Amino acid sequence: MQTYAAPLRDMRFALTELHDVAALTALPAFSDLDADAIAPILEAAGKLATEVLLPLNAPGDAHGCTLENGVVRTPPGFRAAYAAFRAGGWNAVTGDPAYGGQGLPQTVGMLVSEMICAANLSFSLYPGLTAGATIAVGRFASDALRALYLPKLTQGIWAGTMCLTEAHCGTDLGLLRTRAVPAGDGSYRLTGSKIFVSAGEHDLTENIVHMVLARLPGAPPGIKGVSLFLVPKYLPGTDSGPDGGVGARNGVTCTALEHKMGIKGSATCQLSFDDAQGWLVGAPHKGMHGMFTMMNSERLGVGIQGLGLIEAAYQSAVRYARDRLQGRALPGPRRPDLPADPIIVHPDVRRMLMTMRVHAEGCRALGVWVANRLDAAEHAADARARRDAEDFVALMTPVVKAMFTDFAVESANLAMQVHGGHGYIRDHGIEQYARDARITQIYEGTNGIQALDLVGRKLPAHAGRSLRGLFHPIADFIENIRADPDMEKFAAGLERAFGTLQLATRHVATRGLADPEEAGAAAGDYLRLTGLVALAYLWARAAQIAIARHGAGGPDQTFYAAKRISAEFFFDRILPDATACYLKIRSGKASMMAMPETAF
């Protein structure tokens, strides 16, 4: 059965013990906030996730969305849940207070998102896409557009979308064909077809604001000729009251819903733009600039979707492993009073549960680190501090997106394995996690493209400056723990893995410069290696805290003991993959590229 309770204790650990919550709340934008004020927000989000969104997850999957006469309906219950979501201010957690947002840190927003995604990934996409559209409008639209749209988007009164993909182009957006022509009144008319648009049409909000990539007349070919437009489903009305204030219907229609493997409660739409009125956002031909802003936020968001799914899969698997009786423990019966032992006694089941648990806690620790830096990038008083934080976020965004979602797919599969055949059939809702998780490796740029982004753009940017934000704290920490006998194992493991990452970085930089195919061949393994080293650093720090606080007594005693065991498992069973990544990187492109195309 799908089960989920917000992992609030581990969130508190990541937020306040592993990372510096005081530094976060010392940022001028958050001076009213402290850790005590954050806790009830997370508790309330956890309650919403468990009580409102989780019960709709499996039924939403079974029912899916429907399209009738151009009207898309979300699964039963989604409308009421969205109304509760919006009334609770959950759309507006990190939103700009000038437009009705709560102005809370991205770090808090990330943890809230984790819970929403864990409980109901399909539902999470509706506010998730809106948040991305809000950022693009906030950063790049004219004052008039911002005044008109930001209050509605920030508070979730209207929803947003991202319309990039067309039938013939997904990764290579330079090929897109949707056209925009000036209408002579400052607006534009858009014509073309988009596919795969998440939340492209639905019944949760009165209006939907599409952010659309299109080409202006005479635009340069390729990606340098793409512009970004805001195209509302309904043109704004003269009444700009709280319920929307919509006017005439614009020329945007949903022509079909995609039939897909998972996230069936999320309406993935084909949209037709027929002379639809839109407004330019940002400069002509600079659409990718605005779109990248939106995509970077969405990419981190997809990583957090992965984290949520890992936690949900883990919790469901633990529950089943405690209940399911099969076989006897290898050393002898653990529960002689029962006809068989629960499967949690078996080492292979433990391997699976520990892997999921360590993925969830590790990704949460890394997610909070990146979110903390995102807050610093946006709000630090000092320009240099903002720049350093921005560098770190840029470097780690593809890592978070790709590694977390790879772990999500692995964890959903492990949860299914723990359930045996009962995981493969529908009754327990576990196969839904496997189907839902799979898209996270594909959308917002496939994980292969994330790896190319890391190796081809983020690494060489500013002569490798971005790496400092990752490498320096790790090097300093290794120095600090080197002489600590309690930390011997963690120091040695971290130092070894960090050493391989440094060697791999040199290898990718030099070989990749001479031959870009070498960089492409190394990219996926380099991304994983970077992620594993970042996790190793965080697990070593978690172990240090757990060792120091062990003996605290009460429930914390159990928490810290478990944290230390999890850290040991990471170093014993997950981190060795770093060596394999390095060996694969070193092997170069030869055997990957040697096969003649005709031989495939």
Ligand X SMILES: Cc1cc2nc3c(=O)[nH]c(=O)nc-3n(C[C@H](O)[C@H](O)[C@H](O)COP(=O)(O)OP(=O)(O)OC[C@H]3O[C@@H](n4cnc5c(N)ncnc54)[C@H](O)[C@@H]3O)c2cc1C
**159 or 162: CB nearest ligand X:** 162
Q: Distance (Å, rounded) from C-alpha 425 to C-alpha 427?
A: 6
Binding mask 155-184 for ligand X (x = CB under 6 A): -------xxxx----xx-------------
Active-site option among 201, 444, 518, 597: 444
Interface with ligand X (CB under 6 A), residue from 74, 124, 198, 250: 198
Q: Distance (Å, rounded) from C-alpha 416 to C-alpha 332?
A: 26
**Shortest CB 298 distance to ligand X, Å:** 8
The DSSP string of 442-472 is TSSS-HHHHHHHIIIIITTGGGGGGGHHHHH
Interface with ligand X (CB under 6 A), residue from 252, 439, 478, 542: 439
**Shortest CB 339 distance to ligand X, Å:** 44
Angle, vertex CA 452, rays to CA 448 and CA 457, nearest 5: 155
Which residue's C-beta sits nearest to ligand X? 170
Binding mask 363-382 for ligand X (x = CB under 6 A): --------------------
Give the number of residues in contact with ligand X, rule: CB under 6 A.
21
**Shortest CB 243 distance to ligand X, Å:** 25
- Give the range of 103-111, 131-139, 260-268, 550-558 binding ligand X by CB under 6 A: 260-268
Tokens at 64, concatenated: 């899916």
Angle, vertex CA 284, rays to CA 279 and CA 290, nearest 5: 75
The most distant pair of C-alpha atoms in the chain lies apart, rounded to whole Å, by 83
Interface with ligand X (CB under 6 A), residue from 446, 509, 552, 568: 446
Residue 192 binds ligand X (CB under 6 A): no
Pairing assessment for the beta strands 208-214 and 159-163 based on DSSP bridges: parallel
**178 or 505: CB nearest ligand X:** 178
Interface with ligand X (CB under 6 A), residue from 284, 448, 460, 588: 448
Interface with ligand X (CB under 6 A), residue from 265, 445, 493, 512: 445
Binding mask 451-470 for ligand X (x = CB under 6 A): -x------------------
**127 or 469: CB nearest ligand X:** 127
**Shortest CB 168 distance to ligand X, Å:** 8
* 179, 192 Cβ separation under 8 angstroms: yes
**38 or 162: CB nearest ligand X:** 162
Residue 596 φ/ψ region, left for φ over 0, alpha for ψ in the -120 to 50 degree band, beta for the rest: beta
**Residue 74 DSSP one-character state:** P
**Shortest CB 299 distance to ligand X, Å:** 11
**163 or 414: CB nearest ligand X:** 163
Q: Which of 277, 271, 270, 290 is nearest to 180 (CA)?
A: 277
Interface with ligand X (CB under 6 A), residue from 178, 227, 268, 505: 268
- Give the range of 224-232, 289-297, 443-451, 589-597 binding ligand X by CB under 6 A: 443-451
Amino acid (one-letter) located at 154:
T
Binding mask 394-433 for ligand X (x = CB under 6 A): ----------------------------------------
Q: Distance (Å, rounded) from C-alpha 312 to C-alpha 445?
A: 24
**10 or 453: CB nearest ligand X:** 453
**Shortest CB 449 distance to ligand X, Å:** 5
**7 or 512: CB nearest ligand X:** 512
Long-range interactions of 258-261: CB distance < 8 A, separation 24+? 258/195, 258/196, 260/439, 261/435, 261/438, 261/439
Amino acid (one-letter) located at 51:
E
Q: Distance (Å, rounded) from C-alpha 482 to C-alpha 458?
A: 30
The DSSP string of 15-48 is IIIIS-HHHHHTSGGGTT--HHHHHHHHHHHHHH
**Residue 476 DSSP one-character state:** H
**Residue 256 DSSP one-character state:** E
**213 or 415: CB nearest ligand X:** 213
For 150-251, list the strands marked E by DSSP. 159-163, 179-182, 188-198, 208-214, 227-232, 234-236, 246-249
**Shortest CB 187 distance to ligand X, Å:** 22
Q: Which of 188, 183, 144 is nearest to 279 (CA)?
A: 188
**Shortest CB 249 distance to ligand X, Å:** 21
Is there a catalytic annotation at residue 444?
yes
Interface with ligand X (CB under 6 A), residue from 63, 86, 139, 260: 260
Q: Which residues 6+ apart lie within 8 Å of 175 measured at CB?
A: 166, 168, 169
Interface with ligand X (CB under 6 A), residue from 4, 85, 196, 404: 196
Sites of contact with ligand X (CB under 6 A): 162-165, 170-171, 196-198, 260, 263, 268, 439, 442-446, 448-449, 452
Q: Would you please indicate which residues are annotated as catalytic (active-site) residues?
A: 444
